[in-house]
Structure 1
Amino acid sequence: MIGAIFVMTNTHGKADPNGQVVLNGMQFAINAINAQGGVEGHPLKLMHRNCKADSTIAIQQFKELAELGAVVIINNYSHITLALKKIALETKVPQLAIMATAEDITEDGPYTFRYWTKASDQAKALLPLVKKLKIKRLGLVNIDNTYGNSVSDELMSKMTSTGIEVQKTVYSSVGKDLETNLATLGDIDAISFTCFPSDILPIVKTIKKVYPSIKIIGPVSVASPKFFSEKELDGIYIPAPLIYNVTSRQMKQLRVDFVQQYDSPVDVYSTIGYDSIMLLYDIFKAKGTKPQDIVEFMERGFVYPGLFGDVESQPNSHHFHFPLRPAQMKNGKLEFFRR
């Protein structure tokens, strides 16, 4: 059994739709695996929980899923991954973090792994974009939490090392305080923002209110079909995953079959759900289905040819490097920059 602990709603009951989309991708993969006979002749099962963005709840749910026989537990968001590192070690059940970007969440976590882009990957992908746009003074604005500060700090480090002047501000919620904080960035050529998906539209509207004609750079989470048609986001630059620039037969078929089943386009969230299950399935076939089998195989380091391209993990790194490419939202589509 595979366990999953996701943020489906927050502590106030507000829905986080991306959690359900990831689960749809995971279940789609499990259905495909079971249609081919499952794992060692047994159907693969998925049991998930909603932690409501609460670390304490997530820890209790991890214990429960481990006791129920989960051999690996997938979770999303950086602060949840950090909270689960200790219990993963205590139970000897590995956790696989997805949609968790903060730079060092796998450090000192022998049972913690990440299958998702990390902060420094995003910063690295933006360097050629910033150079191409001839940006000399970059403003950074991020949500004031583990994820936002990690991405922003990596961007500041990478940009300043190349001679680009950087100013930074943070926000807790989109509102008047954000307008005020943005104004403190002063004379800048472009703004890069880091936020949760629910804040993307309001934060872009606020940036354009304060800086009407400025170049705007967004996070990976903007790369989703649900945002492509938003006129407010037209012209925004992002570091994008290759799933929108891949024409493989597997990806084409997935797009058709997934839409038929869920009446929803394949995006970065459904794809990471699908790919994470397929990664584990390949490990089950190659090594075994026990928690320690997964840990030992993941620690080897290897290249996984998933839907995000060739995703590489170095030995003992506990992290996969995702290929990202600079792109721009234009006329309802995502256009990748030529190298």
Structure 2
Amino acid sequence: MKFRSLWRTAPLFASALLLGATALAQPIRIGVITDRVGAAKAYAEPVLQGVQFAIQELNAGGGVLNRPIELQVEDDQGRPDLSASAARKLVDAGAAFILSISLTSATQQAQSVTVQTGTPHLTPSNSGDTLTTQIDNPNFWQTGPLASSQVATLLAYAKSKAFKRVALVGDNTGLGQLTTQSFKAGIQAQKIEVVAEEVVPRGANSADAQMQRIRAARPDAVFLTGILVPENTLLLRAYRLQGLKAPLLGNFNFSTPQYASVAKGLLDGVAFVDAVDPGKPQAKRFFEAYAKATGSAPQNVNGYGYDGIMLIADAIRRAGSTDKQKVREAMQAVRAFDGVLGAQGSHYGFQDGKRTGFDVNGLVVRAYEGDRPGRVLHVGTR
């Protein structure tokens, strides 16, 4: 009887030893460069929440390679001059991988450290097309949807609606002007006439004059190309007050969560580009799990951080260690990773040696229903 009792308790004892060993194992340190006070704060904060939720899930399941994940966070304030210092601090602290969720320009500067040290480095949310081309950094990957794909997706939707005459209205920031130029080039390539082009300067307190000129031009649709939430809110307010009926098409910026509060009552019917397809099974599971675990309503932007950490964890598992070269090779070998983000049937992957991993046809166009992102109107660039 005594032998049988010991035999029955042996698996429990072994499990306890394994859990104890995992608890004592050297943690895998993941560094995050975020923006807690600057221009990127509005989306960096929910991305970081997605990161934290992913690590919580991983550690609850035993970590990665039977080692817990330890998060180290540095704030670069959205400033390129501070981002490289933050990356250096994380490398010196033993980060096996760095995640950048700050401004595109700051992420670009942080690469100066990761290319030098061979540290694997990923941005799951930045969309600038030049992040993987301006610096020859084989240790850096980008899974945020490229700006060019965002433009192509919204223009594909516009083409499906047979718009012939459109207006553009943006802001005077560098990125806002670049976005306007990209949309204008794409619109003109499709033989669609731009009948009005307006700018709302940063810090403006009204967009009434701009919207009056747009109304006089009688466009079939209005493209909102600016990236500043307060100025875009002024445009929405002027549009409603002046009773315009031309459809509003918003760029990717309109997928950020803060619009639901600052532009409350002004969003209904606005079409915008998003990386989240609410009908995707992976997205449904994530949003349900996130809401249950945190007690708060999930936001689409949370998915960027979650997918970024899960991609990193997958690469480390396949590498079998945190050796930087092995992890680099494992990350570059990603071909069909199913994430929360992307349209149904789309995957992350770094085919043909590329280091941009979001599926070019993975974006969708959605419409606001009241103050919340709603139904999908269009999928991909076709």
Distance 1:207 1:267, change over 3 A: same
Residues 96/168 of structure 1: CA separation in 2 closer, same or farther (3 Å cut): farther
Q: What is the aligned length? A: 334
TM-score, length-normalised on structure 2?
0.77
Change (3 A) 1:66 1:237: same
Call closer, same or farther: CA 1:2–1:10 in 2, change over 3 Å: same
TM-score computed with the length of structure 1 as normaliser: 0.86
In 2, Cα distance between the equivalents of 1:175 and 1:192? Answer: 19
**Corresponding residue for residue 61 of structure 1:** 86
Instruction: Choose which of 91, 99, 112 in structure 1 pairs with 2:117.
Output: 91
Instruction: Please state if 1:157 is matched with 2:185.
Output: yes
- Identify the match of residue 304 of structure 1 among 331, 337, 343: 337
Which of 183-192 and 154-163 deviates more? 183-192
Q: Deviations over 1:208-266 (max 9, x none)?
A: 557833321112342356646832010101122234232x2x54343233223333222
Q: Deviations over 1:89-108 (max 9, x none)?
A: 12222321233122212114
Structure 1 residues 190 and 133, CA, compared in 2 at 3 Å: closer, same or farther? same
Match of 1:281 in 2: 313
Offset of residue 195 of structure 1: 0.8
Cα offset for 1:276?
0.6
User: 2-side partners of 1:258 and 1:141: how far apart?
Assistant: 36
Question: Is 2:60 the counterpart of 1:35?
Answer: yes
5+ unaligned residues in a row in structure 2: which ranges? 1-28
Matches within 5 A, 1:261-280: 261-280=293-312
Contact 2:252 2:273 in 1 (8 A): yes
1:326 aligns with 2:365: yes
The counterpart of 2:204, out of the listed 175, 190, 194, is 175
2:245 to 191, 210, 213: 213
Match for 1:78: what amino acid?
Answer: T
1:234-245 alignment runs, 5 A limit: 234-245=268-279
Amino acid at match of 1:21: P
User: What is the CA deviation profile of residues 66-112 of structure 1, one whole-angstrom value per residue up to 9, with x for unaligned ones?
Assistant: 11111221112211122223222122223212331222121143133
Alpha-carbon distance in 2 for matches of 1:177, 1:292: 53
* Structure 2: distance between partners of 1:128 and 1:34: 42
Tell me which moved more, 282-291 or 66-75.
282-291
Higher strand share: 1
- For the aligned residue pairs, the C-alpha RMSD in angstroms reads 2.8
Higher Cα Rg: structure 1 or 2?
2
Q: 2:223 and 2:305 mapped to 1: Cα distance?
A: 27
- Structure 1 residues 172 and 42, CA gap change in structure 2 (3 angstroms): farther
Deviates more, 1:38-47 or 1:82-91: 82-91
Residues 1:132 and 2:171 are matched in the alignment: no
Preserved contact between residue 75 and residue 81 of structure 1 (Cα < 8 Å): yes
Secondary structure in structure 2 of the residue aligned to 1:104: coil
The amino acid of 2:274's aligned partner reads A
**Match for 1:336: what amino acid?**
V
Q: Distance in 2 between matches of 1:4 and 1:313?
A: 22
